[in-house]
Amino acid sequence: MLYEVSNIQYFLNICNYGAPQIDGIPGPETTRCIRTAQGACGLEQDGIWGPLTEACAAGQISAVQRQLTEAGFQTEEDGIAGPQTWENVKAFQRMRKLDADGIIGSLTSAALFGGSSSEAAALRWFGPDEFKCACGCGLDCVLELKQKTDRVRDRLGLPLIVSSGARCSAENAACGGVPDSLHLTGEAADVYTPGMTAELVDRIAQIAREEGLGTIRYYDERFVHLQTWLRDTIA
Ligand SMILES: [Zn+2]
Ligand SMILES: [Zn+2]
């Protein structure tokens, strides 16, 4: 048995079997959540963490760890739930603009294990809402921009986060965009990778140019503006 009490509590939280406090101390709440997990595994719900329960948990956690690594968040696939897996689930949720609670509910599960919409399937690295206007109006970027940005992400080999995609006029004014911004027509998106450096600004811009996108490099703010109109400048 490799799971200590805290690992069990991480597992129960991550895999959505209730949210016992992660304190390494056994108690009635942890036992209750173990029973829920055992039910989902088709095991006897005695609330006792035995080899069968642990095997079922390890299988689920391994699958989560594999998908996190696939999504760009390197996670050791040891089948043991712990702080690294928990933090990477939250980082994945932030990237997909989901509630970053570290719990794999239905939305996170769909995002992590495969989207449902056909366009989401066409884009390997981005969910259906990641390029949409931040105000919630539903304005989206054009497919050409999304597909090319998806290829940039693929070649970059690092998480690529859309900080600003399409912008309606209200949103564009609110975030200080220029009046003729290509964000207004969904033909531009600003992207960055966590731990962005000047070298990464250059690398992302270089790949984007090769994929047929125009770029504006923001070295100070550490992001790259990508657009469908071919033009390369420095902010
Ligand atoms: Zn809007
Ligand atoms: Zn921009």
**Centre of ligand 2 from the C-alpha of residue 100, in Å:** 25
- Residue 84 CB-density burial (10 A; 0-12 exposed, 13-18 middle, 19+ buried): middle
The structural domains of the chain, with segments of one domain joined by +, span: 5-113, 118-234
Q: Give the closest ligand to the alpha carbon of residue 133.
A: 1
CATH assignment of 118-234, given 3.30.565.10, 3.30.1380.10, 3.40.1400.10, 3.30.465.10? 3.30.1380.10
Whether residue 117 contacts residue 132, with contact meaning beta carbons closer than 8 Å, is answered with no
Report which bound ligand comes closest to the CA of 192: 2
Mean of pLDDT values over 139-150: 92
User: What pLDDT is recorded for position 234?
Assistant: 87
Model confidence pLDDT, tens digit, residues 122-144: 788 898 889 999 999 989 999 88
How far does the centroid of ligand 2 lie from the alpha carbon of residue 3, in Å? 46
Q: From the CA of 164, how far away is ligand 2's center (Å)?
A: 7
Structure tokens at 207: 């790949």
**194 CA to middle of ligand 2, Å?**
18
Quote the ligand 2 centre to 89 CA distance (angstroms): 28
Please give the model's pTM, rounded to 2 decimal places: 0.54
Conformation bin of residue 143: beta by default, left when phi > 0, alpha when psi is -120 to 50: alpha
